[in-house]
Structures are given as C-alpha cells and as structure tokens.
Amino acid sequence: MDKLTIRDADVAGKRVFVRVDFNVPLANGQVTDDSRVRAAIPTIAALLQGGASVILASHLGRPKGKVQDGLRLRPVGQLLSQLLRRNVPVTGDALGVGTEDAVKRLRPGEVLMLENLRFHAEEEQNDPVFAAALASYADIYVNDAFGTAHRAHASTVGVPQILPAYAGLLMEREIEMLSKLLEAPVRPFAAILGGAKVSDKIGVIDHLLTKVDLLVLGGGMANTFLLAQGKAIGKSLAEPDRVEDARRILSSAANNGVRVVLPIDVIVAKEVTQGTEYKTLQAEKIPASWHIVDLGKESQDLMVEALSDAQTVFWNGPLGVFEIPSFAHGTKAVARMLAERADSGATVIVGGGDSVAAVTQQGLADRMTHISTGGGASLEFLEGRELPGVTILPDRPVPAKPKRKSRARVR
C-alpha cells in the first residue's frame, strides 16, 4: 500500500488542513498522556518548514454533537505550543465567522487548531455541507490520524473528496509497519491479544491465524477460551455466548499449526477493586465467588518462553486488569520481555491504549520498533478490512515501464 504523502506535495504558501488524532486523556485541564500529540509533530514540522500554514483538526471524546467545556481542545493547544515552541491558538468553534477570519489571517509558518470537530453532529455523519465548510479553509488536505482512519467521518472522508489529499508521516509509518505484518513478517511471527472481550477481536484472530506461528491470549478474553476448554472461571469476566467461537478458533489454530498459549495459573481476587484480597491459583477451577484479574507467575514464564525466539510480534490489549496496579504485573512483565526482544533485533509493534500505557509507564516506548496510535484502526487493518480514511487517500502512481527500443530488421 503506497500512498501519496506530504513528501509529494508542494506546500509552499498553501494552507494545509491536517486531520490529527488529539483524542488524548485529560485530568484537571491537563493532558496526562502526550504520546499522540508528539507523534504528529514530525508532520506538522515538515509542513511548516515547507512554507505552509497549518490548520489542525481533531476530535476529543464523545460529545455527541453538543458543546462540552470539559472536552475543549485548549489544553492540547497549550501543550502543542510548548512542544512546537510557537503559539497554537484554538478557535472557539470549528465553524463560524470568527474561525473563517482566523484562517484568513493565517500566514506561512503559523499554526491554528480548530475546536473539537465532534461538537458538530455533522462530523460523524460525514455531512457534505460540513465537509465543504472545512475544506474551504485550505488548499491541501493531509490525514495524519491513523487512529480515526476506520471512521468514515467528514474530516476523514468528506474533506479529502474535495481537496488534493496526502498521507502524513505518521499515517505513512502506520501503514508501512502494519502492512509488513500481513505481507512479509520475519518468522517466527507471534500475536499477543488481550483486553476484555473476545467478540471485539474475533475477526482479527481469524485473519491472523493464517499469518502467525504463535498466538498468546490473556486478559478477560482469555477467560472465554478457558470456558471453551471446560474450565471453571468463577465470577470472571467472560462471554459465554462466544464459547463456540473460541472452540472454533482453537480448532482452526491446531489445523493451521499455530501454537496457542493460554494462562495456566492466574491471580484471582474477591472483588475487582484496589485493596481487595487476592491470591494465585491454577487456571483450572476458580472458586465461584472469585474473579480472574491477572496472569500468574507460571503463565508469565510460559509466555516469555514461547516468545523467546519470536522475530516479529504484534501486541494489542492488556493481560490483566491493568488499571489496578496490583493486577498489572503480567501486562508489565510482557512489556519488559518485548523490549528485550526488540533490543535483540526483533520487530515489535504495540497498539491499544493499555498496552501502550504499560510500555510508556516503564520507559520502554523508545525500545519498541513501533508504537501504533490506532487501537481499533490497527485491529481492523490487521483484520484485512479497508479503512475509509486510508482508502480515500490517492495511491502513488506506478512508474511506467520503459519501452523497449525496436530493433531494425536485417534483410
């Protein structure tokens, strides 16, 4: 998948509309995780150096078409101003006379951020009038928001139907790294999948079973597979209606020669809360009133052993109740092991909020090959589905093959 990128665009003196993914966590009016903002800086900096004026557009949270002061982008603008070392004002609205005036005053080398796009219901509806209004601000469109590329919204699909469109540097990197997983992974290739629900990942598991050599399962979704093996899991989070899917996946893995690693011992707790009583048990018969909340030490060791020779690894989803520190040990142990695999030359790609958080909190992010900014988008990509925000971007033209010179016949 080879898309036109900002390297192919002449942006000098142009206004460039850049769809970024600044859907970041906030607490007390401050950004608590700036990784998505930092990930967009190479594209913004390249456009500014090329002589463009940059109009940034993002959503934040789920305001459902209504203005919510707690979801305004001003804290993100303040953070970006610090990172870029230049003022990044945020408009009062994505539309309106004030925003139009601010855009008209924008000069090359300056940056403006539009207020939360999802304050307008028309954004998620891909309303053509709303898209045309956004497109009127700029000469060129750039999508650097891989995390929203699976959504057919006005800012991801509508605007690039109107303006010349290009991929940003982050978008290019995401497509390149994830494409390698599907097209040319160095083997052995392992996928580690966690999180709460197997139903969210059935499609990607089915697709990856034709690609991987090893599948490691943890988190709440692994409990459904334990049920499928006839094991008692107490009050643990699971999806009994997906047990047949789990059995089918295990059977398919065996038929494809894919090794599946499930927890063999687990941490169980009386309640899924901080400070509750917990202990380690074999993942065979959990007492009826207890909850599985993390991997046990034997499970951690088993997963480390299974992954010890993996040359390509994709990880999405926590392997326990990561938001409670006492139950984050398994997730963090896998993060440390993957950093060691990456240090040894393996390709390690991490995606999904809690997986990325586990890596970032331990200062391991720089050691990974790639940290994907798209949780749901990366899963849909690996499921083999088309992402509307990627599909709409033009492919780079295939160079014409040189014509062979005709040889004069000798009579």
Q: Tell whether 337 is covered by a domain.
A: yes
Query: 235 and 142, same structural domain?
Result: no
Last residue of a domain, one of 173, 195, 229: 173
Q: Tell whether 310 is covered by a domain.
A: yes
What per-residue confidence (pLDDT) applies to 352? Answer: 79
Q: Tell whether 80 is covered by a domain.
A: yes
Q: Are 390 and 3 in contact (CB under 8 A)?
A: yes
In DSSP terms, 167 is beta-bridged to: 5, 143
Query: 339 and 208, same structural domain?
Result: yes
CATH of residue 272: 3.40.50.1260
Q: Tell whether 399 is covered by a domain.
A: no
Query: 208 and 156, same structural domain?
Result: no
Catalytic hit among 92, 234, 376, 384? 376
Domain coverage including residue 118: 6-173
Query: 166 and 193, same structural domain?
Result: no
Q: Is 269 exposed, middle or buried (0-12, 13-18, 19+ CB in 10 A)?
A: buried
Q: Tell whether 178 is covered by a domain.
A: no
Neighbour count for residue 329 (Cβ, 10 Å): 18
Query: 161 and 12, same structural domain?
Result: yes
Query: 253 and 127, same structural domain?
Result: no
Torsion 60-150-103-16 (CA) sign: positive
Question: Is the link from the previous residue into 399 a cis peptide, with omega within 30 of 0?
Answer: no
What per-residue confidence (pLDDT) applies to 399? Answer: 75
Among this protein's residues, is 230 annotated catalytic?
no
As a whole number of angstroms, the distance between CA 90 and CA 96 comes to: 13
Nearest CA to 316 out of 258, 277, 357 is that of 357
Query: 215 and 360, same structural domain?
Result: yes
As a whole number of angstroms, the distance between CA 325 and CA 329 comes to: 7
Catalytic hit among 197, 259, 270, 385? 197
Catalytic hit among 14, 19, 36, 211? 36
Query: 291 and 157, same structural domain?
Result: no
Q: Tell whether 349 is covered by a domain.
A: yes
Nearest CA to 250 out of 206, 189, 212 is that of 206
Q: What Rg, from alpha-carbon coordinates, does the chain have?
A: 24
Among this protein's residues, is 50 annotated catalytic?
no
Among this protein's residues, is 376 annotated catalytic?
yes
Nearest CA to 92 out of 101, 104, 84, 83 is that of 101
Amino acid (one-letter) located at 272: V
Three-class DSSP labels, the chain: CCECEHHHCCCCCCEEEEECCCCCCEECCEECCCHHHHHHHHHHHHHHHCCCEEEEECCCCCCCCCCCHHHCCHHHHHHHHHHHCCCCCECCCCCCHHHHHHHHHCCCCCEEECCCHHHCHHHHCCCHHHHHHHHCCCCEEEECCHHHCCCCCHHHHHHHHCCCEEECHHHHHHHHHHHHHHHCCCCCEEEEECCCCCCCCHHHHHHHCCCCCEEEECHHHHHHHHHHCCCEECCCCCCHHHHHHHHHHHHHHHHCCCEEECCCEEEEECCCCCCCCEEEEECCEECCCCEEEEECHHHHHHHHHHCCCCCEEEEECCCCCCCCHHHCHHHHHHHHHHHHHHHCCCEEEEECHHHHHHHHHCCCHHHCCEECCCHHHHHHHHCCCCCHHHHCCCECCCCCCCCCCCCCCCC
Q: Tell whether 405 is covered by a domain.
A: no
Maximum distance among all alpha carbons in the chain? Answer: 97
Among this protein's residues, is 36 annotated catalytic?
yes
Query: 167 and 195, same structural domain?
Result: no
Q: Are 292 and 268 in contact (CB under 8 A)?
A: yes
Contacts of 343 by beta carbon, 8 Å cutoff, 6+ apart? 367
Catalytic hit among 353, 367, 384, 385? 353
- Give me the tens of pLDDT residue by residue for the chain, a chain 411 residues long: 699 999 999 999 999 999 999 999 999 999 998 989 999 999 999 999 999 999 999 999 999 999 999 999 999 999 999 999 999 999 999 999 999 999 999 999 999 999 999 999 999 999 999 999 999 999 999 999 999 999 999 999 999 999 999 999 999 999 999 999 999 999 999 999 999 889 989 999 999 999 999 999 999 999 999 999 999 999 999 999 999 999 999 999 999 999 999 999 999 999 999 999 999 999 988 999 999 999 999 999 999 999 999 999 999 999 999 999 999 999 999 999 999 999 999 999 998 778 888 898 899 999 999 999 888 899 999 999 999 999 999 999 877 666 665 555 544
Last residue of a domain, one of 146, 173, 200: 173
Nearest CA to 157 out of 121, 117, 118, 124 is that of 124
Last residue of a domain, one of 151, 173, 195: 173
User: φ, ψ for residue 56 (rounded to 5)?
Assistant: -95, 140
In this prediction the pTM is 0.89
Q: Tell whether 49 is covered by a domain.
A: yes
As a whole number of angstroms, the distance between CA 325 and CA 248 comes to: 34
As for how many domains the chain has, the answer is 2
Query: 339 and 257, same structural domain?
Result: yes
Query: 125 and 50, same structural domain?
Result: yes
Query: 378 and 349, same structural domain?
Result: yes
Q: Are 111 and 88 in contact (CB under 8 A)?
A: yes
